[in-house]
Copies of this chain bind each other. A is one copy, B any other.
Amino acid sequence: MTVAIIGLGLIGGSVGLRLKKSGMTDHIIGIDKNEVNSAKALELGLVNEVMGLLEGVKKSDVIVVAIPVDQITVLLPQILENIKSDAVVLDMGSTKGGLCQSIDNHPNRKAFVATHPIAGTENSGPEAAFDSLFQNKTGILCDVEKSSTKAADTARELYEALGMKIIEMGSQAHDLHIAYVSHLSHISSFVLGQTVLEIEKDEKSIFNMAGSGFASTVRLAKSSPNMWAPIFAQNKEHISKSLGTYIQNLQEFKAMVDNENVDGMYDAMKNANQIRKVLDGIDLKGSNTKPNKKAIVEN
């Protein structure tokens, strides 16, 4: 079985590394419009060969689309028009509702499965790829009733080969929930980084006084703008609502600070402490460590 991976960054590259070891495929074609990335992916052994988009699509049994979500929306119809008759296409973007809607009437809709691996790091590009990125993480398949049985089964097989636990849900529900547990935390972190950099022009004093707590909270501010700006635009309704609630809660907290309302702050924080239960669950799902690289260990 030949697999094509479109987009040879952290996600696509890690898919390549893992699938090579899994035995699911004997040949992986890499596709990336950035020739430096293609060459690097080949050099790092993420894929077996690289070629152009349509050539690679036509030769493959499974096509994995791992590019920024705005580019998925543009390329997916074109990809679906050029697949072999029994090929399966799946994307790995972080937004699902709009994409599914946009190809609802495509003649090859049944060959497509909308997916989202909840895995990543703040690093990007082929050099950031590692084969255990997906291990024990959650992979989401959306609107599988719109895919053929074969396509849905192939997507499940691929996610199992990646080592992921599979959840299936509707694309609209996905976008709502992911706004809170992923997109919002990225924005809170990006804007925290921005705010601290703005005020603390003298970076040396940040360096000296910041501890691992700050490092943890602001870590996602290192993430790729190329990847995230289109996600925020595509999921704008849910993000706007979650961000609005976040801002309102911050304003209420600020009022308690201004009024030295220690009891009010205590109650709000005691309530937020319940997140511990949720986090203990996440820890059990495995770590995001790239082996062979210095890990940031925080606790």
CB proximity of A133 to chain B, nearest CB, Å: 11
Question: A206-247 vs B: 1/0 string, CB under 8 Å?
Answer: 111111111111111111011011101100100110111111
CB-based nearest B residue for A288:
B212
CB-based nearest B residue for A167:
B208
Provided the pairs A219-B279, A239-B257 are in contact, do residues A184 and B209 lie with their beta carbons within 8 angstroms? no
Q: How many residues of A contact B (CB 8 A)?
A: 109
Contact A217 B215 (CB under 8 A): no
Question: A260-290 vs B: 1/0 string, CB under 8 Å?
Answer: 1011011111111111111101110001111
A282 to B223, CA, bound (A): 17
Contact B119 A269 (CB under 8 A): no
Contact B242 A203 (CB under 8 A): no
CB-based nearest B residue for A277:
B203
Specify how many copies of this chain sit in the oligomer: 2
Q: Which residues of chain B are within 8 angstroms of A254 by Cβ–Cβ distance?
A: 240, 243-244, 247
Identify which of B185, B210, B262, B294 contacts A217 (C-beta below 8 A).
Answer: B185
Contact B208 A180 (CB under 8 A): no
Contact A203 B247 (CB under 8 A): no
A193 at the interface (CB under 8 A from B): yes
A190 to B119, CA, bound (A): 23
CB proximity of A155 to chain B, nearest CB, Å: 18
Q: Which residues of chain B are within 8 angstroms of A190 by Cβ–Cβ distance?
A: 253, 268-269, 272
Q: Which residues of chain B are within 8 angstroms of A251 by Cβ–Cβ distance?
A: 247
CB proximity of A152 to chain B, nearest CB, Å: 19
A128 to B134, CA, bound (A): 31
Additional pairs, 18, CB under 8 Å, beyond known A194-B249, A225-B266, A247-B250: A118-B211, A122-B213, A191-B268, A195-B245, A211-B282, A212-B282, A215-B282, A217-B217, A219-B298, A221-B275, A229-B262, A229-B269, A236-B257, A243-B250, A244-B254, A247-B254, A289-B298, A289-B299
Across the A-B interface, give the 7 residue pairs with the lowest CB-CB distance, nearest first.
A225-B269, A193-B275, A193-B272, A185-B217, A212-B288, A181-B210, A207-B281
